[in-house]
Amino acid sequence: MDILEISKECLKTSELVVSGLKEKGLKITAAESCTGGLVSCCITSVAGSSAVFDGALVSYANRIKAGLLKVEGDVINTEGVVSSKCVAQMAKGAMRLFGADIAIAISGIAGPTGASKDKPVGTVYICVKGKNHTINKRYNFEGARDEVRSLSCLEALRLALTVIEQE
């Protein structure tokens, strides 16, 4: 898929997310790092999304993850911000901050720098947390920075659909 196809798919999936949230009377939020607000942008591109989305946080810096989202220092220092534990805590913090029923949290290495042997470019963790169901997964996306970011957004929205169905 090229960037344009991914973007179109994100918008279609966002429409399904907003519709599903409205049907169930749920609110969603996001704590985004490597996507820099793409998930929020996709959700708010849907007319009527204000009924299900009050806001989100782009938490690019570790001090924002720790200070506002309450990601534990031990997690940041031992697991790293690109980790399952970090996105789980980001999602929990976003739910608390925004009073949402569901939270999407994303942290990863979009590149071209920042990679390590254990976490190459394209390594992304996504957690979608609901009150009753949580999905937390690691991905290894291929492509340049924009592709990694866009694919992360699309997959997060797809996971959100699954969590919405379970709530």
Tens of pLDDT, residue by residue over 103-136, are 999 999 999 999 999 999 999 999 999 999 999 9
Containing H/E element for 22? Answer: helix 3-24
C-alpha distances in Å from residue 49, one per residue of 41, 62, 77, 95, 152: 11, 29, 36, 17, 21
39 half-sphere exposure, CB direction, 13 A CA radius: 34
Q: How confident is the model at residue 102, as a pLDDT?
A: 98
Q: How confident is the model at residue 1, as a pLDDT?
A: 83
Instruction: Report d(CA 76, CA 112) in Å as an integer.
Output: 21
Q: How confident is the model at residue 149, as a pLDDT?
A: 98
Q: How confident is the model at residue 100, as a pLDDT?
A: 98
Q: How far apart are the first and last CA of the chain?
A: 30
The tens digit of pLDDT for each residue in 56-65 reads 999 999 999 9
Instruction: Report d(CA 107, CA 124) in Å as an integer.
Output: 6
CB neighbours of 138 closer than 8 A, spacing ≥ 6?
84, 123, 124, 125
Instruction: Report d(CA 19, CA 14) in Å as an integer.
Output: 8
What are the residue boundaries of the structural domains of the chain, listed by start?
Answer: 3-47+56-166
Strand arrangement of the beta sheet that strand 123-129 belongs to: 57-58, 28-32, 102-108, 123-129, 134-140
Task: Tell the burial category of 114 from Cβ atoms under 10 Å away from its Cβ (0-12, 13-18, 19+).
Answer: middle
> What does each of the 167 residues of the chain score in pLDDT, given as a tens digit?
899 999 999 999 999 999 999 999 999 999 999 999 999 999 999 999 999 999 999 999 999 999 999 999 999 999 999 999 999 999 999 999 999 999 999 999 999 999 999 999 999 999 999 999 999 999 999 999 999 999 999 999 999 999 999 99
Are 49 and 11 in contact by the 8 Å Cβ rule? The answer is: no
Q: How confident is the model at residue 77, as a pLDDT?
A: 97
CATH topology of domain 3-47+56-166: Maf protein (3.90.950)
Prediction pTM value? 0.97
